[in-house]
Amino acid sequence: MQIFIHDDFDLEKICGSGQCFRPGAVSGGVSAGISEQDAASAHMPAGDPALYRFITGNHVLFIRRSEDEMYDVSCSEAEWDTVWRPYFDLDRCYADVRASIPAGDPFLTKAASFSRGIRILRQDPWEMIISFIISQRKTIPAIRRSIEMLCERFGRTLDCGGQPSAFPAIRAFPSPEALAAASADELSACSLGYRVPYIMDAAKKIASGQIDPEALYDCSYEKRMEILKSIFGVGEKVANCICLFGYGCTSAAPVDTWIRKVIDTVYAGKEPFSAFGDNAGIVQQYVFYYAVSQKKI
């Protein structure tokens, strides 16, 4: 199926923006060793090296850009409208967000221009809780490796609608129950280090119903932050990341070491994001991607 996106949308920047750890480009146009005939049988667009895979819940999407605003996608129209359109936050105009940045702020203007195409993904809150617990003091490649090991060991295999046998099995993110039942040694084997007790605490609290991630959608930002921070190892930054990338709370602007450097060196210690209200987290993401990519701060 083909879809049109008439707004900022850059798959490479989205995948490299530090907000998601499972999506990414699929090597060799489809995947190493997969013929275009096999790809077609799996309902995957083929032939273009810029092919990307996204996973959310039980859904897998293969997507590539075919023309300026046209994309080939591997899902039905109904699935696109109900799953992937919200996932990519396509009801928000990101060009308008960039236009709201005052010309008198050259740093933000440059960061937004450089990062054009990034969108804040609406990801699964449970996955974000575990992902950003893991993210502490780890590089993005190391985070990806640990998450994929968790999925391989504890996630169930997803049905991708006729996927050819040569294509590697795709596994769902593990359920809270699966991780709650895992031993510390089993989790340690996924290169989680000191984060193992944090993950065990999160999994047990959610599997037992002590914390219900779905119920947090209806909480105020303050209450949601309070509940998230009751999980062992979840502090202000991680909780804000979960709010932004898991709950679509785009007023949340997490402060990590890169953002702290920007605040201190460019803005004399005064954060610039809250002035953008509900778009604060989007502007923060522009700055994060720019700072990490340029490494000039």
Structure tokens at 8: 């900022």
Nearest partner of 113 among 125, 124, 121, 101, judged by Cα? 101
Question: Of the listed 237, 270, 295, 296, which one is catalytic?
Answer: 237
Q: How many residues does the chain have?
A: 297
Burial label for 32, CB within 10 Å (0-12, 13-18, 19+), is exposed
**Contacts by 131-139 with C-beta closer than 8 Å and gap 24+?**
131/21, 132/238, 132/241, 132/242, 132/245, 133/195, 133/198, 133/199, 133/202, 133/231, 133/233, 133/234, 133/238, 134/192, 134/195, 134/199, 135/21, 135/238, 135/241, 136/195, 136/233, 136/238
Structure tokens that stand for 26 in this block: 């699929």
Q: Is 237 a catalytic residue?
A: yes
Strands of the sheet with 70-73, listed across from one edge: 2-4, 70-73, 59-65, 51-56, 24-25
d(CA 52, CA 71): 11
Token pair recorded at residue 209:
């119903």
Side-chain half-sphere exposure of 290, counting CA atoms within 13 A? 21
Distance from chain centroid for Cα 166: 27
What is the Cα–Cα distance from 261 to 191, expressed in whole angstroms? 28
Among all residues, which ones are annotated catalytic? Answer: 237
